[in-house]
Amino acid sequence: ADPLYTAASLFDFEDFTVRCATDPRPVKRLVDHLFEQILEQTRNLVEACRGYDFIFYTAGPEIATPPMMSPRTFQTFVVPYQTKLIEIIHGAGHLAAIHCHGRVRAVLDGIIETGADVLEPIEPPPQGDISLAELLERVGDRLCLMGYIQDQEFYTAPSGTMSRRVEEIAALV
């Protein structure tokens, strides 16, 4: 679970984004309260999985990316919480992935700062806002990248298109 995503699910999303921008203190108190519960759940879950190889995913950060929320909001409501959760996951010997559709350019440094091992699905423009070349340059060897193909293409692209897309991506790496 992600504390920001959990908090947002209690509101109309538009109302929630406005509250984060205009009066973040009550939202922060709610997120902090939810985080205490999520910490305990995460500790129990990773301990139950000890001895097995797992990648733990969180999808909450994607709701705090532009244009829905500002990079500053991402830094406040995502980075410290994800960092702590990922420390717990790593402490139990597991990997951590952040699932984040959309525009990641402005929050990429924050994603790296969390200590996540994987970022996915990484959408190319127009849904995303960063080229694969820039992404690779900024990330270096600090983060495994997974994706850069629109999932809709798997269902709508003509035969052979996906093989060519994968080859194009692989040539850049």
Q: Is the pLDDT of residue 93 over 80?
A: yes
pLDDT at 15: 97
- Please state, rounded to an integer, the average pLDDT across all residues of the chain: 94
| CB of 21 closer than 8 Å to CB of 62 | no
**Residues 54-74: what's their mean pLDDT?**
94
pLDDT at 23: 97
pLDDT in tens, 116-133: 999 999 888 888 999 999
Single-letter amino acid, residue 161: T
pLDDT at 130: 95
**Residues 38-61: what's their mean pLDDT?**
94
Strand partners, 147: none
Q: What are phi and psi of 57, to 5 degrees?
A: -110, 145
The DSSP bridge pattern shows strands 118-121 and 144-145 to be parallel
Q: How confident is the model at residue 65 (pLDDT cuts 50, 70, 90)?
A: very high
Q: How confident is the model at residue 109 (pLDDT cuts 50, 70, 90)?
A: very high
pLDDT at 172: 82
pLDDT at 149: 85
Strand partners, 119: 98, 145
pLDDT in tens, 4-39: 999 999 999 999 999 999 999 999 999 999 999 999
Q: How confident is the model at residue 136 (pLDDT cuts 50, 70, 90)?
A: very high
**Residues 98-111: what's their mean pLDDT?**
95
Percent of the chain at pLDDT > 90 equals 77
> Apex CA 18: angle with CA 36 and CA 69, to 5°?
75
- What's the predicted TM-score (pTM) here? 0.92
| CB of 70 closer than 8 Å to CB of 92 | no
Residue showing tokens 């995913």: 57
DSSP 8: H
